[in-house]
Structure 1
Amino acid sequence: MENAKQPLDEETLFSVTQIFKALSDPTRVQILNLLQDREYSVNEIARTLAFNQTTVSHQLRFLKNLRLVKSRREGTTIYYMQDDNHVLELLTQAIRHVHHH
């Protein structure tokens, strides 16, 4: 058993489960999917996905805390963009898997 996997340390385990928690919410999946192409303001995200602005802001805060999205301010507008290609690749693979079956 030379190649046996070692148990994950607590910090890694927590971080991995948080990422899957982020991907388990349909609203967050929609937001992450949208942000694959370009940056959007909170208002643009809300309008494009037909969500209210409060919901979008709350979900973006959750995603930002996990470093899955990042933001920049331009005047009074905050723009969000994806911040982790690894998780977006995971999301893309999940979407491909669904379309394949």
Structure 2
Amino acid sequence: MAAQEQSVLSPETVEEVSRLFKALADPTRIRILYLLSRGECSVTRVAEMLDLSQSAVSHQLSLLRTLRLVKYRREGHTFYYSCDDDHVIHMLLQTIRHVQHD
């Protein structure tokens, strides 16, 4: 493949990248992903830590799960969420460090 052909992204790739950045543009989702980057949490724990309703947290986690940014496991009636994409979490943490850098 010629170098010029490699420099053009497919429309599918552009759309997927756009979806990802839109997801990361939401303050609540940033807070959730940051919390989950520290370890697995139940929906209840996320809601408590971030002072949000369980409904709001569940809604955001559902979207993040659709984008394959988080995964969950079920234990009885409790769902535990964790990060499912180290690349995105690394990017998020790097961005946070960049913003906090003096």
Measured after TM superposition, the shift of residue 14 of structure 1 is: 1.2
RMSD value, Cα: 1.6
Alignment partners' CA distance in 2, 1:4 and 1:51: 47
Alignment partners' CA distance in 1, 2:31 and 2:5: 37
Alignment partners' CA distance in 1, 2:60 and 2:69: 11
Q: Which amino acid aligns with 1:65?
A: T
The sequence identity of aligned pairs, in percent, is 51
> 2:58 matched to which residue of 1?
57
What secondary structure does 1:51 align onto?
Answer: coil
> 2:8 matched to which residue of 1?
7
What secondary structure does 1:35 align onto?
Answer: helix
What secondary structure does 2:71 align onto?
Answer: strand
Q: Which amino acid aligns with 1:70?
A: K
**Structure 1 unaligned blocks of 5 or more:** none
Measured after TM superposition, the shift of residue 4 of structure 1 is: 7.6
* Number of residue equivalences: 101
Measured after TM superposition, the shift of residue 86 of structure 1 is: 0.2
- Scaled by the length of structure 2, the TM-score of the pair is 0.92
> 1:27 matched to which residue of 2?
28
Give runs of ≥4 in structure 1 deviating > 6 Å: none
Measured after TM superposition, the shift of residue 7 of structure 1 is: 1.8
What secondary structure does 2:37 align onto?
Answer: coil
Which string of whole-angstrom CA distances, capped at 9 and with x for unpartnered residues, describes residues 10-49 of structure 1?
A: 2211111111011100000000000012111100000011
Q: Which amino acid aligns with 1:80?
A: Y
> 2:38 matched to which residue of 1?
37
**Structure 2 unaligned blocks of 5 or more:** none
- Scaled by the length of structure 1, the TM-score of the pair is 0.93
